[in-house]
C-alpha cells in the first residue's frame, strides 16, 4: 500500500501537534511506523488519503456500532444542525435521550449528560465522594477511566499500597486517595476494604475491561463487587463507556445481571459525536447541583447535534427487537472461530478473548484474566501481525493492549476476508 500523502501529512502534523496526533495511541508508537490519515469512512470501511481501502475493526474506538456514516445518524445530524448548533439552555432532545437511557438501563433512574467519557467518570467519582462523605476509591490495574488526575493512576508495589501517578503533572497527593488492585482478584479487594474501613467511597470498574486488550470477569466476580460495596456502604460504579449499549441493549450490566449504583457512558450514546453521560439511583444523582451540593457543569453538555446523533443510534439499535445484537454476536463468533483456526493452522499460540462484538488477540499460550497476564503476551509478534494485516487491508487497533470492535455494517464477506488475511499473515510469521 502507498502511504505518501499520509507520510507528508504526519511530517507536517509533527511540527504543529504534540507527537503529531490528538490522542496518543493514534501515533502507532506501540507497533512502529507512522499512522495513516483517513479521508472518509462508510459502513465497515475506511479510505485513507492515499486511496487505500481498509476493513475497520477500530470503529472509532467503539462508537461506530452501526458502521460509519449511517444514513439515519447523518440525517439526524443535518436536521439538528439546521436548527442551531448549540443553545446553552435546555432542549427537548436532552429529555428524549435521558428517557431512552433509562428505559434500556433501569439502574439509571436519572442521568446527566457530559461531553466525554472522561468527564463522565471524573464526575461520577466526585459524586460518589460527595454522597458517601468518603475520599478513597478503588480502581483496577489495566482499567482506564479517562485522564482525570485521580483516575490516571497505576498500581503501587503491593495490593494494599496506594497508587502512583501514571502521568507527569499528576500530584502524588491526588493518587494517594486511589487504591489500585489487580482485576479478578477477590482477596485483594477484601484486603483493601479491611485496611480502609469506612473510607472507600466507591469501586469504579470496567465490567469487561477493554483498555488492556480485553479480558472478562471470572464467574461471580462482579457479583462479589456488588456485595462487598453494598455491605460497606460504598458505591459500585460501572464504567460502561465502551460496553454500554454494545454488549446488549442494557450493556454489560444487563448481560451479567448486576445493577451498579452509578454508570458511566460514552461512545455509542453520541452516535459518533463527542458525548458522555453518568447516571444512577435518583437519591445519589440528586446530590448534583443545582439539586444538591456536588458541582458539575458543562456549556456544551446536552448539545442538540450530539443528542440527535445519539438518539438516532440508540433507536436504530433497538428498531428490530434485538436483531442488531444477534448479528453482532454472530459476526463476533465467526471472527473468533476463524482467527483461532488460523492461528492453530500456523502453529502459533494465541488467546482470543471475546465478549459479543468486542475482541482481542493476545500472542501467548496462557489465559488472560488481568493486566499482568496481558503483559506476558508477545508484543513483537503482535507488531508483526498488525502490519501484516494492515498490508492486507485490515485495520486493527494499533496496540496489543486495545480491544477490537465489530459493527452491524461488517458483512460475512468482510469477516471471511479478515480470516483469509489472518491465515496468510500468521503463516508468514
Please work out, in degrees rounded to the nearest 5, the angle formed at the alpha carbon of residue 60 by the alpha carbons of 369 and 41.
Answer: 140
* Catalytic residue check, 232: no
Radius of gyration, CA atoms only, the chain: 21
Of 57, 144, 177, 325, which is the active-site residue?
144
Q: Please identify which of the residues 56, 141, 185, 239 carries the catalytic annotation.
A: 239
The residue annotated as part of the active site, out of 110, 136, 176, 267, is: 267
| Helix (H) or strand (E) run with residue 322 in it | none
Q: Which residues are CB-contacts of 27 (< 8 A; sequence separation ≥ 6)?
A: 19, 20, 21, 35
Phi, psi at 415, each rounded to 5°: -65, -45
Quick check: is 144 catalytic?
Answer: yes
Tell me the CA distances in angstroms from 280 to 112, 174, 237, 356, one per residue in order.
9, 25, 9, 24
- Strands 38-42 and 404-405, by their bridges, are unpaired
- Using a 10 angstrom Cβ sphere, with 0-12 exposed, 13-18 middle and 19 or more buried, the burial of residue 239 is buried
Residue 236 main-chain phi, psi, to 5 deg: -110, 120
Q: Which is nearest to 162 in space by CA: 171, 170, 148, 172?
A: 172
Which conformational region is residue 133 in: left (phi greater than 0), alpha (psi within -120 to 50 degrees), or beta? left
Give the DSSP H/E element, type plus range, for residue 123. helix 117-132
Cβ–Cβ < 8 Å for 204, 124: yes
Q: Where in the sequence numbering do the catalytic residues fall?
A: 144, 239, 267
Amino acid at each position: 500500500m502507498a502511504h505518501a500523502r499520509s507520510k507528508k501529512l504526519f511530517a507536517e502534523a509533527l511540527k504543529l501537534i504534540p507527537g503529531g496526533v490528538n490522542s496518543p495511541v493514534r501515533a502507532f508508537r506501540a507497533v512502529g511506523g507512522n499512522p495513516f490519515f483517513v479521508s472518509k469512512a462508510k459502513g465497515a470501511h475506511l479510505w485513507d488519503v492515499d486511496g487505500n481501502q481498509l476493513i475497520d475493526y477500530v470503529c472509532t474506538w467503539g462508537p461506530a456500532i452501526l458502521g460509519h456514516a449511517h444514513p439515519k445518524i447523518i440525517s439526524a445530524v443535518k436536521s439538528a444542525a439546521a436548527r442551531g448548533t448549540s443553545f446553552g439552555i435546555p432542549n427537548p432532545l436532552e429529555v428524549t435521550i435521558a428517557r431512552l437511557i433509562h428505559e434500556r438501563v433501569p439502574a439509571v433512574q436519572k442521568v446527566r449528560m457530559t461531553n466525554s467519557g472522561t468527564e463522565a467518570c471524573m464526575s461520577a467519582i466526585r459524586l460518589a465522594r460527595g454522597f458517601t462523605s468518603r475520599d478513597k476509591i478503588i480502581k483496577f490495574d489495566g482499567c482506564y477511566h479517562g485522564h482525570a488526575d485521580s483516575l490516571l493512576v497505576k498500581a503501587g508495589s503491593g495490593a494494599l499500597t496506594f497508587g502512583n501517578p501514571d502521568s507527569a503533572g499528576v500530584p502524588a497527593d491526588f493518587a494517594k486517595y486511589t487504591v489500585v488492585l489487580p482485576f479478578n482478584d477477590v482477596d485483594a479487594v477484601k484486603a483493601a476494604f479491611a485496611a480502609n474501613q469506612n473510607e472507600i467511597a466507591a469501586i469504579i470498574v470496567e465490567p469487561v475491561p477493554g483498555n488492556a486488550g480485553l479480558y472478562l470477569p471470572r464467574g461471580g466476580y462482579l457479583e462479589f463487587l456488588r456485595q462487598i460495596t453494598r455491605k460497606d456502604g460504598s458505591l459500585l460504579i460501572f464504567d460502561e463507556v465502551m460496553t454500554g449499549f454494545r454488549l446488549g441493549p442494557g450493556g454489560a450490566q444487563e448481560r451479567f445481571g448486576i445493577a451498579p449504583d452509578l454508570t458511566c457512558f460514552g461512545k455509542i450514546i453520541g452516535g459518533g459525536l463527542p458525548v458522555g453521560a453518568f447516571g444512577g439511583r435518583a437519591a445519589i444523582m440528586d446530590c448534583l447541583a443545582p439539586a444538591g451540593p456536588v458541582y458539575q457543569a458543562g456549556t456544551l453538555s446536552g448539545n442538540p447535534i450530539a443528542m440527535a446523533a445519539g438518539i438516532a443510534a440508540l433507536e436504530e439499535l433497538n428498531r428490530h427487537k434485538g436483531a442488531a445484537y444477534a448479528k453482532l454476536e454472530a459476526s463476533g463468533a465467526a471472527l473468533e472461530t476463524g482467527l483461532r483456526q488460523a492461528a492453530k493452522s500456523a502453529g502459533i499460540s494465541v488467546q482470543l478473548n471475546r465478549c459479543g462484538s468486542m475482541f482481542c488477540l493476545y500472542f501467548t499460550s496462557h489465559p488472560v484474566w488481568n493486566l499482568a497476564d496481558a503483559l506476558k503476551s508477545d508484543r513483537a509478534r503482535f507488531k508483526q501481525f498488525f502490519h501484516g494485516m494492515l498490508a492486507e487491508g485490515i485495520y486493527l487497533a494499533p496496540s496489543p493492549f486495545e480491544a477490537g470492535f465489530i459493527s452491524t455494517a461488517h458483512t460475512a464477506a468482510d469477516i471471511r476476508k479478515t480470516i483469509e488475511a489472518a491465515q496468510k499473515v500468521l503463516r508468514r510469521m
